[in-house]
Amino acid sequence: MLADLIWQVEAGADEVVGEEANLSNWKGLAAKVRAPQEDLRADPPPRAAHPDPGPASVRRAPPAAIHSASAAHQAPRVTAQTLDELRDEVARFDGCPLRATAMNLVFSDGNPAAPIMLIGEAPGEEEDRQGKPFVGVSGKLLDQMMGAAGFDRTNTYISNILFWRPPGNRTPTDAEIASCVPFVERHIALIKPKILVLLGGVAAKTLLHTATGITRLRGKWTQYMGSPDSGIETPIPCLPIYHPAYLLRQASAKRQAWNDILSLKKRAIDDNVL
Ligand code: URA
């Protein structure tokens, strides 16, 4: 029993989300992927949960079976014409397996009429609890850095690539990301930001369709186009920057991040969008 429990925590199942278990064959699954019990007892794995998710590149990947188990997804056909309709459509969407394990849908925060839209990776524990993006430790750092340049949630709008917390803040799978992207694109089309800021590698790689890492992408202005049926009519000036969770681990990168925020400020002033 203890070994099974340890395995579940290691796999990211660190919270009770319902009265009954909904994995009918979890014991069989556990037996297939877990290490021999002696190993687990001698060296119990560290708790996977972290109060705030970091960028995928610095987080531990889940056991392979869990990764591929969550690959089943269904691409949504997005029809929403307003933000409220989009929120409802996302809330009804059952093609992303993360919805089953999350406490809340985390849709957005900030001002929908703001000229600047920020997109992060995925909600963490605190975001899942409150149903709002970037309200945990990394959100506080983001608020501080943006605030020092005159930005807050009245002149920005913020969301994520994923609308639900990955269990234990594990790295989202490609399938989970793919299932949410059509909603994210429609989200951008409806907000029509004058500037798009991508926080971290997952957001940047996903929306810019590139395998290039955030270290190379950050600080370089580009244009976000959107896919043909996204409804995004004109290219949007777009700036990838480091994810604040990365800055919490890598304080030396804060200097570059601050320069990027200053570049954002300059562009916003030059383009007269504030
Ligand atoms: N990290 C993210 O990428 N998004 C959040 O909402 C919180 C932390």
The pLDDT assigned to 150 comes to 98
Q: What ligand 1 atom has the least distance to the C-alpha of 106?
A: 6
Is residue 12 left, alpha or beta, with left meaning phi > 0 and alpha meaning psi from -120 to 50? left
Nearest one of 241, 240, 244, 202 to 224, comparing CA atoms: 240
Tokens at 80, concatenated: 């929403």
Residue/partner pairs of 222-231 with CB below 8 Å, 24 or more apart? 224/188, 224/196, 226/185, 226/188, 226/189, 227/185, 230/182, 230/185, 230/186, 230/188, 230/189, 231/185, 231/186, 231/189, 231/190
Q: What ligand 1 atom has the least distance to the C-alpha of 55?
A: 3
Q: What ligand 1 atom has the least distance to the C-alpha of 132?
A: 6
> At 236, phi and psi to the nearest 5?
-110, 130
Residue type, 25: N
Q: What ligand 1 atom has the least distance to the C-alpha of 52?
A: 8
Nearest one of 180, 190, 191 to 90, comparing CA atoms: 180
The rounded distance, in Å, linking the Cα atoms of 103 and 97 is 13
Report whether residue 168 contacts ligand 1, using a CB cutoff of 6 Å. Answer: no
From residue 84, alpha-carbon distances to 12, 112, 158, 187, 226 in Å are 31, 11, 15, 10, 21
The pLDDT assigned to 229 comes to 83
Strand runs (DSSP E) across the chain, as ranges? 109-110, 116-120, 156-160, 195-199, 222-224, 236-241
From residue 41, alpha-carbon distances to 12, 47, 216 in Å are 19, 14, 42
Q: How far is the CA of 269 from the centre of ligand 1 (A)?
A: 27
Q: How far is the CA of 35 from the centre of ligand 1 (A)?
A: 31
Q: How far is the CA of 261 from the centre of ligand 1 (A)?
A: 18
Tokens at 227, concatenated: 């896919």
The burial of 194, by beta-carbon neighbours within 10 Å (0-12 exposed, 13-18 middle, 19 or more buried), is given as: middle
Q: What ligand 1 atom has the least distance to the C-alpha of 158?
A: 6
Q: How far is the CA of 138 from the centre of ligand 1 (A)?
A: 7
The pLDDT assigned to 73 comes to 59
The rounded distance, in Å, linking the Cα atoms of 12 and 66 is 9
- Tens of pLDDT along the chain (274 residues)? 677 666 555 444 544 444 445 443 333 333 333 332 222 222 222 223 333 434 443 343 333 332 333 445 567 899 999 999 999 999 999 999 999 999 999 999 999 999 999 999 999 999 999 999 999 999 999 999 999 999 999 999 999 999 999 999 999 999 999 999 999 999 999 999 999 999 999 999 999 999 999 999 999 999 999 998 889 999 999 999 999 999 999 999 999 999 999 999 999 999 999 9
Q: How far is the CA of 266 from the centre of ligand 1 (A)?
A: 25
Report whether residue 110 contacts ligand 1, using a CB cutoff of 6 Å. Answer: no
Residue type, 68: S
> At 117, phi and psi to the nearest 5?
-115, 130
Report whether residue 124 contacts ligand 1, using a CB cutoff of 6 Å. Answer: yes
